[in-house]
C-alpha cells in the first residue's frame, strides 16, 4: 500500500496518452542513441576488421553529420505533436 490510494492520486495522463508520448520521445531520440552506440561498437570492436572497418566508419560519419541536422529539422513537427498530446 502506498501513501495514497489510487482514487486520491490525480491521473495526469491516461495510459494511451502516456504511451503515445513515450513513442514520440523514443522516435525523437532514437537516432542519437543508435549513433552513439555505433561509435562505441566501432571504437571497441570495429577497428580491427579489414574491409568492414572503413565501411562502418563511413556509415557512422554520415550518420553523425546527418543526425543533428535531422534532429533540428524535425523539432517543429515534434513540438506540434507534443502539444497535441499535452492535456
Domain ranges of the chain: 17-85
Q: Taking 80 as the threshold, does the pLDDT of residue 1 lie above it?
A: no
Alpha carbon 62 to its chain's center:
18
More confident residue, 28 or 50: 28
Q: Taking 80 as the threshold, does the pLDDT of residue 7 lie above it?
A: no
Band of residue 21 on the pLDDT scale cut at 50, 70, 90: very high
Please tell me the distance from the alpha carbon of residue 24 to that of residue 33, in angstroms, as a whole number: 15
pLDDT in tens, 55-72: 889 999 999 999 999 999
Q: Please choose, from the candidates 43, 36, 35, the residue with its C-alpha nearest in 3D space to the C-alpha of residue 63.
A: 35
Amino acid at each position: 500500500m502506498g501513501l495514497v490510494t489510487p482514487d486520491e492520486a490525480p491521473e495526469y495522463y491516461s495510459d494511451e496518452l502516456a504511451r503515445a508520448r513515450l513513442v514520440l520521445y523514443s522516435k525523437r531520440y532514437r537516432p542519437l542513441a543508435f549513433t552513439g552506440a555505433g561509435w562505441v561498437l566501432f571504437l571497441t570492436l570495429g577497428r580491427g576488421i579489414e574491409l568492414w572497418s572503413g565501411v562502418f566508419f563511413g556509415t557512422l560519419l554520415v550518420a553523425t553529420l546527418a543526425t543533428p541536422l535531422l534532429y533540428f529539422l524535425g523539432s517543429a513537427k515534434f513540438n506540434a505533436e507534443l502539444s497535441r498530446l499535452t492535456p
